[in-house]
Amino acid sequence: MSLLHLSFYSTFTLSCLGLAFHRAHLISALLCLESMMLALYLALSTWPVENLTSSSSLTPLLMLTFSACEAGTGLAMLVASSRTHGSDHLHNLNLLQC
Amino acid sequence: MKTTLLLNSSMLLTLMIILTPTILPLATTSKNSAPSITRAVKTAFLTSLVPMTTFIHSGAESIISNWEWKFIMNFKIPISLKMDLYSMVFLPIALCITWSILQFASWYMASEPHITKFFSYLLIFLTMMLLLTTANNMFLLFIGWEGVGIMSFLLIGWWFARAEANTAALQAILYNRIGDIGLILSMAWLASTTNTWEIQHMHTTSQTPTLPLLGLILAATGKSAQFGLHPWLPAAMEGPTPVSALLHSSTMVVAGIFLLIRSHPMLSNNPTALTLCLCLGALSTLFAAMCALTQNDIKKIIAFSTSSQLGLMMVTIGLNLPQLAFLHISTHAFFKAMLFLCSGTIIHSLNGEQDIRKMGGLQNTLPTTTSCLTIGNLALMGTPFLAGFYSKDLIIENLNTSYLNTWALTLTLLATSFTATYSLRLTLLAQTGFNRTPPISSINENNPMILNPLSRLALGSIMAGLLISSLITPSNTPPMTMPTLTKMAAILVTTLGIIISLELSNMTHLLTLPKQNPYFNFSSSLGYFNPLTHRTNSSNLLLPGQKIATQLIDLSWYKKIGPEGLADLQQTSSKTLTSTHKGLIKTYLGTFTLSILIILMTL
């Protein structure tokens, strides 16, 4: 596949793995989430260019909006957990652990 | 007609007389006592001379068959008694020796509260031994065999408050039991293959299979204390001296050899079994003679001497000469019983002292006893024309002129010289020299209860060899011609042993022994046999047994493969899987990616 496709496939996969296997901090998960969104944005933007359908050029902008909202929500949760526990360590979020 | 009638009736009368003191107190109100039992045995002895003289005069043999035990359809087990050379000559000898020993025991065990029980035990033992000797089938022989084993146990442990006596009695039973396995094996083979247990049917024309003969040799090894199953015989000296004199010198220990003599027709066809007997006997005789060299207990020296002579009898069986072995049994019984009675007199006179290093100078204080001791030792060494000469010298001559194992020959000659050495050591240390006993000892042998048996046995030790060998027709010709050195071989090695013993006893009087050397240690610790085998064998048998019983059966098959194993499996798997169900996001995300990866890989 072309270099562009490779770049966002690999970005998406690596960020997915980073999200699943993050270790200590919540913010690293959020960062991985952001890079996943970025990769998705790139992919969605490449699609009308390659398939020459200009009617789906709106899709990346919608996605970008929603990712910004989601990033805001994530950061709000980060701030809330750091206000409650004093840090953003993931082992603080253990309310449901049995 | 009249000969067989006389023979059978006098033989049955003898056996009835022996049974009388056992049965009569059960039927009537008469009680036994020591003199009555002695009188019974004396009467039986005099009666048993009749069949023996009948046999010597006419050569008549007979088999008496009584009631038959209808146990299985095709298998006959009658009560049959065989009167042939061996039983008819052995009976008077055994009865004469038992009579002498009972007379002696009336003096020796005079302070014993249960003396009547002791005499009854000896009588029951004698009955069993006579049953063994006159048995015509293996069933009766087995009954007699077990009977002498049990009586040996009861008599060795007579002073049962002693721990060593109990250990020795148990040891005797255990070692005899190992031999009994061989006997039962042979009996089973005979019953299944030849369908009879009669001794006159134990004859094969072609080569006998080795298995039943191995069983018989194992039985003889156990009962007659050959090397490998020998430790019980020196330990059996814990019993009273009359017991040692009767059982473990003349009568019981020859039961194994007697079994091999009875089964001789089968044994002579199999060269492997004969060679095994030869080598085993040679090894036993040398080992026992070597152990006797450094013993200090008078009874143990005589016990090892018995063991050595039993090895010599086994060698004779290995040479295919059963009649010569029987001759040696007969002559050996006389002088060995006499040696034990002399030692009993010495022990009682010195107030319980059994260590020869603490005896000495007894020739002046116990003249008759020490003379008999000397006669017995000379007969044992094979001095020409005493009793032992006729059997022992013939055995050595046959051994020298046969085409058999040189190793066995060398060992036997070496053992003969050792016999002379330890016998002379015993004589020198116990009789001659200065008195090493404590000062106050009531030495008195002027009791007809001692002197009569002793002189009777001394007479037997001198005359028995000549009488028996001249009155019995031999079954095979002895070797007539041999080189002079071969003829003088036994005398030469005996003289060599005497000279060495004189030299060694001089050494102990004039010089001091500097330090321990390995040969002395080997001999005085009886070849390290007892500690090596008693512990390893029993732990090798018991440890796997324990492992099988507890760990294999109880633990593995009842627990691990069943409920506990399942429980362990469940526990392990639940322990492993619990960590994934804790409610942590990371685990869930990890499972998620893993599943995605697997799906992507299979696309």
Measured distance CA(B324)–CA(B314) in Å, rounded? 11
Nearest to B324 by CA among B307, B335, B312: B312
Q: Which residues of B are less than 8 Å from A21 in CB distance?
A: 586, 589-590, 593
Phi-psi category of B174—alpha, beta or left, where left has phi over 0 and alpha has psi -120 to 50? Answer: alpha
Task: Decide if B586 and A98 are in contact by the 8 Å CB cutoff.
Answer: no
Please check whether residues B303 and B356 belong to one and the same domain.
yes
**Is B427 inside a domain boundary?**
yes
Identify the H or E element spanning B62: strand B62-68
**Is B579 inside a domain boundary?**
no
Measured distance CA(B177)–CA(B146) in Å, rounded? 9
ipTM confidence: 0.75
Least confident of B173-187, B201-215, B449-463: B201-215
Q: Are B148 and B183 in contact (CB under 8 A)?
A: no
Please check whether residues B158 and B270 belong to one and the same domain.
yes
| pLDDT of B131 higher than 90 | yes
Indicate the residue type of B520.
Answer: F
Q: Which residues of A are less than 8 Å from B593 in CB distance?
A: 16-17, 20-21
Looking at chain B, the whole-number percentage of residues with pLDDT higher than 70 is 99
Query: How many angstroms away from the CA of A65 is the closest CA of chain B?
Result: 25
Please give the pLDDT value at position B513: 66
Least confident of A36-50, B175-189, B209-223, B428-442: B428-442
Burial B78-87 (b: 16+ CB within 10 A, else e): bbbbbbbbbb
Tell me the pLDDT band of B224, cut-offs 50, 70 and 90. Answer: very high
Distances (CA, A) of B600 to A13, A20, B30: 11, 16, 109
- Residue B63 has φ and ψ, to the nearest 5°, of -130, 125
Nearest to B447 by CA among B158, B107, B147, B117: B107
- Find the mean pLDDT for residues A44-53: 91
Residue numbers of the domain that contains B21: 1-512
Measured distance CA(B511)–CA(B136) in Å, rounded? 58
Task: Write the DSSP symbol of residue B141.
Answer: H
Q: Which residues of B are less than 8 Å from A19 in CB distance?
A: 589
Measured distance CA(B367)–CA(B365) in Å, rounded? 6
Measured distance CA(B378)–CA(B426) in Å, rounded? 12
Measured distance CA(A61)–CA(B332) in Å, rounded? 125
Identify the H or E element spanning B554: none
**Is B105 inside a domain boundary?**
yes
Task: Write the DSSP symbol of residue B297.
Answer: B
Task: Decide if A19 and B589 are in contact by the 8 Å CB cutoff.
Answer: yes
**Is B591 inside a domain boundary?**
no
Query: How many angstroms away from the CA of A39 is the closest CA of chain B?
Result: 18
**Is B478 inside a domain boundary?**
yes
Please check whether residues B235 and B193 belong to one and the same domain.
yes
- Residue A66 has φ and ψ, to the nearest 5°, of -65, -35
Cβ-in-10-Å burial (0-12, 13-18, 19+) of B460 comes to buried
Please check whether residues B387 and B534 belong to one and the same domain.
no
Task: Decide if B584 and A17 are in contact by the 8 Å CB cutoff.
Answer: no
Q: Please give the residue of chain B at the shortest CA–CA distance from A96.
A: B583
Q: Which residues of B are less than 8 Å from A97 in CB distance?
A: 582-584
pLDDT tens across A9-20, in order?
Answer: 999 989 988 888
Please check whether residues B308 and B289 belong to one and the same domain.
yes
Nearest to B290 by CA among B417, B409, B405, B395: B417
Q: Which two tokens stand for residue A20?
A: 């699943």
Nearest to A21 among B581, B584, B590 (CB): B590
Indicate the residue type of B274.
Answer: L
Q: Are B155 and B121 in contact (CB under 8 A)?
A: yes
Domain spans of chain A, in order of start: 3-92
Indicate the residue type of B282.
Answer: A
Q: For chain B, what is the domain count?
A: 2
Measured distance CA(B328)–CA(B310) in Å, rounded? 9
Please give the pLDDT value at position B151: 93
* Contacting residues for B172 by C-beta, under 8 A, at least 6 apart: B149, B152, B153, B156, B232, B235, B236
| pLDDT of B274 higher than 70 | yes
| pLDDT of A64 higher than 90 | yes
Please check whether residues B275 and B416 belong to one and the same domain.
yes
Size of interface A-B (CB pairs under 8 A): 26
Query: How many angstroms away from the CA of A4 is the closest CA of chain B?
Result: 21
Query: How many angstroms away from the CA of A20 is the closest CA of chain B?
Result: 5
Please check whether residues B354 and B267 belong to one and the same domain.
yes
* Contacting residues for B525 by C-beta, under 8 A, at least 6 apart: none
Q: Which residues of A are less than 8 Å from B583 in CB distance?
A: 94, 96-98
Please give the pLDDT value at position A68: 95
Measured distance CA(B378)–CA(B467) in Å, rounded? 18
**Is B603 inside a domain boundary?**
no
Measured distance CA(B498)–CA(B414) in Å, rounded? 13
Task: Decide if A90 and B586 are in contact by the 8 Å CB cutoff.
Answer: yes
Query: Of B75-79, B195-199, B316-320, which one has max mean pLDDT?
Result: B316-320
Please check whether residues B527 and B387 belong to one and the same domain.
no
Task: Decide if A97 and B593 are in contact by the 8 Å CB cutoff.
Answer: no
Nearest to A17 among B585, B586, B593 (CB): B593
- Find the mean pLDDT for residues B464-470: 90
Measured distance CA(B222)–CA(B179) in Å, rounded? 4
Nearest to A98 among B582, B585, B592 (CB): B582
**Is B35 inside a domain boundary?**
yes
Nearest to B393 by CA among B479, B501, B496: B479
Helix axes B255-262, B115-134, angle to 10 degrees: 20
- Find the mean pLDDT for residues B481-491: 88
Q: Are B312 and B382 in contact (CB under 8 A)?
A: no
Please give the pLDDT value at position B124: 94
Q: Are B370 and B431 in contact (CB under 8 A)?
A: yes
Q: Are B327 and B258 in contact (CB under 8 A)?
A: no
Nearest to B261 by CA among B227, B223, B299: B223
β partners of residue B135:
B81
Query: How many angstroms away from the CA of B556 is the closest CA of chain A?
Result: 36
| pLDDT of B235 higher than 70 | yes
- Give the A window 17-56 contacts with B, CB below 8 Å: 17, 19-22
Please check whether residues B557 and B425 belong to one and the same domain.
no
Domain boundary among B493, B512, B531: B512
Task: Decide if A98 and B581 are in contact by the 8 Å CB cutoff.
Answer: yes
**Measured in whole angstroms, how far is the alpha carbon of residue B247 from the centre of its chain?**
9
- The structure tokens 């001759």 sit at B327
Please give the pLDDT value at position B436: 84
The chain-wide mean pLDDT, for chain A, equals 90
| pLDDT of B491 higher than 80 | yes
- Find the mean pLDDT for residues B538-558: 88
Measured distance CA(A72)–CA(B231) in Å, rounded? 98
Task: Decide if A16 and B596 are in contact by the 8 Å CB cutoff.
Answer: yes
Please check whether residues B384 and B443 belong to one and the same domain.
yes
**Interfacial residues of B (vs A; Cβ cutoff 8 Å):** 581-586, 589-590, 592-593, 596
| pLDDT of B512 higher than 80 | no
Measured distance CA(B342)–CA(B208) in Å, rounded? 45
Please give the pLDDT value at position B514: 66
Query: How many angstroms away from the CA of B593 is the closest CA of chain A?
Result: 7
**Is the pLDDT higher at B247 or at A39?**
A39
| pLDDT of B319 higher than 80 | yes
Please check whether residues B184 and B232 belong to one and the same domain.
yes
The chain-wide mean pLDDT, for chain B, equals 90
pTM for the model stands at: 0.81
- Find the mean pLDDT for residues B148-155: 94
Domain boundary among B512, B534, B550: B512
Tell me the pLDDT band of B511, cut-offs 50, 70 and 90. Answer: low
Tell me the pLDDT band of B506, cut-offs 50, 70 and 90. Answer: confident
Query: How many angstroms away from the CA of B591 is the closest CA of chain A?
Result: 9
Measured distance CA(B447)–CA(B449) in Å, rounded? 5
Please give the pLDDT value at position B476: 83
**Is B449 inside a domain boundary?**
yes
Nearest to B336 by CA among B233, B227, B470: B233
Task: Decide if A93 and B585 are in contact by the 8 Å CB cutoff.
Answer: yes
Q: Please give the residue of chain B at the shortest CA–CA distance from A16.
A: B593
**Domain A3-92 carries which CATH code?**
1.10.287.3510
Q: Which residues of A are less than 8 Å from B586 in CB distance?
A: 20-22, 90
Task: Decide if B590 and A20 are in contact by the 8 Å CB cutoff.
Answer: yes
Task: Decide if B582 and A17 are in contact by the 8 Å CB cutoff.
Answer: no
A90 has a chain B CB within 8 A of its CB? yes
Measured distance CA(B412)–CA(B304) in Å, rounded? 15
Nearest to B314 by CA among B197, B399, B419: B399
Q: Give the other-Cβ count within 10 Å of B570's Cβ.
A: 10
Query: How many angstroms away from the CA of A84 is the closest CA of chain B?
Result: 19
- Residue B64 has φ and ψ, to the nearest 5°, of -105, 125
pLDDT tens across B362-381, in order?
Answer: 888 899 999 999 999 999 99
Nearest to B583 among A17, A21, A96 (CB): A96
Measured distance CA(B400)–CA(B393) in Å, rounded? 10
**Is the pLDDT higher at A97 or at B55?**
B55
Please check whether residues B556 and B426 belong to one and the same domain.
no
- The structure tokens 């040692």 sit at B244
- The structure tokens 């240690």 sit at B521
Three-state DSSP class for residue B80: strand
Task: Decide if B593 and A16 are in contact by the 8 Å CB cutoff.
Answer: yes
